[in-house]
Amino acid sequence: MAVRNIAAGNGVKEAIVKEVPAAKVDIMELDLSSLASVRKCAADLISSGHSLNMLINNAGVVGIPFMLSKDNIELQFATNHLGHFLLTNLLLNKMEETTRKTKREGRIVNVSSVGYCIFTYREGIRFDRISDPKSYSSFWAYGQSKLANILHTYELTRRLKEEGVEITANSLHPGVITTNMFRHLGIFDGFVSKFGKFIFKNVQQVMFHLEHLLDLQYLHILTHIYRIFDTFQSKFLDLFFLFHLLCIGSINHLLCCIASSIEGGKW
């Protein structure tokens, strides 16, 4: 696990090992808002000799006041996109090497957000004003960074397919989750703290989705089910999908359960 806070990372490591004694967990320091830290983490991982089949780009910040990273880049764009983008590219050769040695398809997951289509600036990614404090909007800057995650995934997928590399890249919206990510959002943070557990997802549910997204067989099943749903172009389903994006009863969770039932021979 690559983490910014080593103490917190070690705490998570202890919890994992306590629950799964055979688990082998290494903690590495990584500050995604610092390009130098990203380069060091990637170099350390490559030199460690570990194989790399899967990469989940999950860290992020949301709705923060205007701040610049150590590289003088607006902090949400630096952390949510540029750090992940650079890390992925630095580790891509290692993933290709692992894929060839293990004969197993690699998987890259970029965790994005539905916020990209709600809050993104009208012109999309404002490359000429990424770090402009005068036109900065905390929510719109967040949506911009999440749009960048998706575009990165699309282009990476195209290039991997073109080069015949056995690595699949996916992007997803995990839902609204009860974490401390909303600590900069005032009243909304208070709302999430008090009522989030009743209407939003928890971390365990999100990990359930990520686990299945890393499983190629489940991904094929889910893709098929989504195509079935996609044939029903109705306002009812539009509302249903909007509800799932926000609330605990997500269609992703439902579909993963259906996939589990299909795999288990119950359907």
Annotated active-site residue in 136, 154, 218, 226? 136
**Alpha-carbon torsion 234, 235, 237, 238, what sign?**
positive
Burial class from Cβ neighbours inside 10 Å (0-12, 13-18, 19+) for residue 247 reads middle
Of 53, 160, 159, residue with least CA distance to 99: 53
142 carries an active-site annotation: no
What SS3 state is found at 55? Answer: strand
Of 13, 124, 132, residue with least CA distance to 72: 132
Contact 34, 79 (CB under 8 A): no
Q: DSSP letter for 185, please.
A: S
Q: Which two tokens mark 47?
A: 């030199």
Cα 214 to chain centroid distance, Å, stands at 12
List, by residue number, the catalytic residues: 136
